[in-house]
Amino acid sequence: MEVMEGVIKFAFPKDYNLFSSKEKIQAEPYCLCYQYDIVDGYGPYGFVTKKAEKVLDSISEKYVFWDASLRKTSQKMVFSKSCIGIPVEIFDELFSDYTAFSLWEKKRAILLRLKKNKQIISPPIPLLLDLFDDKKGTINVIAINQLLLRGYAPILCCFFAPQAGNTIVSFSPQIMTSIEDMVKIYGITYREFDKIGDLLPW
């Protein structure tokens, strides 16, 4: 029997607590997950096979991944709510703003120790630090919209169970071009579902 594996696309579950508010997102998010060892629709979920890693690589090359909790960058996608894929075209600009803010934070700490806090003028919080609410574990819709309105669509990561597992959340149809190429090159399957409840649990 041929072992099947491939990408599944489904609509983002509106009741999933990923975003910080009910404010309208400027682009409709959709989800991509991966299933392998598929028999009659059943099989484990996760980007864990060699072909799945190729799919991730084809997507990741267009992004720099920013962990908003750790304040670290990565070229590889990390499946964590705080890990956000920023398009490479805009990342340097955003990181420059973050670097300037970090220098201000260090200066502020020194001034506070010297009890000269009256001289401190706070700069605006950079977008890289405004994307994720560490306490609530949610994504800031306002910050996402700022990127989308400038024409830059980030990608997010989340986890669903018992269906889908590690999942990519995208706001741009352009990723689907990479997916279509991977389907042809590696002979993997591609399926679409209206909602996550249509996927079979594992």
Q: How confident is the model at residue 2 (pLDDT cuts 50, 70, 90)?
A: low
- Do 84 and 74 contact (CB within 8 A), yes or no? no
Name the residue ranges covered by the structural domains of the chain.
4-198
For 87-112, the pLDDT digits (tens) are 999 999 999 999 999 998 888 777 77
Reduced to 3 states (helix: H, G, I; strand: E, B; else coil), residue 160 is strand
What does the pLDDT look like over 23-35, one tens digit per residue? 889 999 999 999 9
**Cβ contact 139:84 at 8 Å:** yes
